[in-house]
Structure 1
Amino acid sequence: MNSPDQSRLGKPVTYADRYDASLLYPLARGPKRDELGLAGALPFFGADLWTAFELSWLNRRGKPQVAIGQFTIPCETPNIIESKSLKLYLGSFNSEPFDSADQVRDRIRADLSEAVWRGASAPGTVGVRLLLPELFDREPLHELDGLSLDRLDIECADYTPAPHLLRAAQDEQPVEETLTSNLLKSNCLVTGQPDWGSVQIRYTGPQIEQGGLLRYLVSFRNHNEFHEQCVERLFMDIWRRCKPTKLAVYARYTRRGGLDINPLRTSHPMALPANVRTARQ
């Protein structure tokens, strides 16, 4: 089993000058889910929405081509892809000739699918979409919809995950709310480099005390974990502590190395959000 400390994160690397699928480095989701007490059927649905802004290859005449890549990794996959390995993998396309953008898309889909589903008894596929330059000006910016928790004037003292801060009015009528914050920050599990994000929490159920929820989100500030793992921790803490009947947690993280990762975890089947970046992305 691959481990984070054996990856290329934080280590000098030589960039490949030709296409190389072996650069992808899958990491099992299982160990971190074990920490959260998740065994058997997952209590959530969702996916990890990646955007690759540094994607290029050569056409058959040697002329460089560029695109923006959007990848959808289902949360049911047994593995995630370590992000630096994805950057190195995509970089290996830079000097490789392909017949068309469709061929590039199909190659990426096959390679990512093999890596994230590796070890599964019934492997599936990932979603891959390439946006070519003629579509770039159609890509909008939009902040996450909802009531901003950041308006609250609170005092913060916890900077590692503090689920005890979460409270909900269990003896009152249920509500339906969408809450957001731009104050989510955690750190890379391996390098400790900061990961900045915005988060949207949609729920139905006992009303969550907003000051405590914001303090809880801030408490991730010194926490070391990958994006996907942080969002699953957020989901499970809110699910267990506040006991909503429905819950969706969606985070959009700022890019690093030309990649952003935007995980969604939801208690119920729902359409994936449009992969629309925020201003900080």
Structure 2
Amino acid sequence: MKSVKKLPLTDKCYHWTHLGEVPWDLQKYWQQRYTIFPYYDDGIYMTEDAWYGVTPEPVAINLVYDLVGFINPDKRTVIDMFAGVGGNAISLAMATEEDGYTPRFDKVIAIELDASTLACAQNNANIYGVADKITWVLGDSFKFVELLTKSPNQLGEDLRVDIATTAIFASPPWGGPGYRTDEIFDLSTMEPYNLAALHETYKIMDHALYLPRTSDLRQIAKLVPDGVKIDVVQYCVEGASKAMVAYIPAATEKPASEMPDHSMS
């Protein structure tokens, strides 16, 4: 598995400028385009599916701020496991130290399975001036982690990162409309990847999971040993909750009494 340079936009990449161009089921999302990407008019491109899952920029900025506060300063690499059209990867690449100038992360890796979606992400990151600060991967993020942990020599040299100094951000697809209507969303039914599969893959590193706003907190709490608390934050735009993010420390063999106590938010 290797990183990729700039991919060409395809006929599945769209920059709609008039409501009449937009499929009816996406029109409400397109009308929120300046919340999602304030620089939309500068040439932001999206695939149709991306409108359902893209993180609005105010949320992306805040969750990166929280991620930086959650992880240790020695975590200098971050991997965006589901890059989509780049909303979170852009904010990760733009994150700075307290001086406002020094990049917080030495390396940002953004992985996306669909070529058209990744082409949009690269285009959008270029608009924000950070395309060259992101290492782009076209492929399966689960396969990436498998290679990183078991066969790193099968990864390109620029992808062989130190697990001990790497954190994960994952905004997986949620699958189906259930999360919108369920009072409490069952994360074991999330498709195509449920909570257990995600955590099992990522638990060797500090990781943040971007989940439906009504996710079952009891299921999230069961991911960590007794005595360990995790941060779970609800993110809102204009007074409406959009999602929650669970910040989960890497698994450790230490007894609970020696493990860090992450307060619940």
Under a length normalisation based on structure 1, what TM-score does the superposition of the two structures give?
Answer: 0.27
Task: Pick the structure with greater CA Rg.
Answer: 1
Larger helix percent: 2
Please report the TM-score for the alignment, with normalisation by the length of structure 2.
Answer: 0.28
Q: Which has the higher strand share?
A: 1
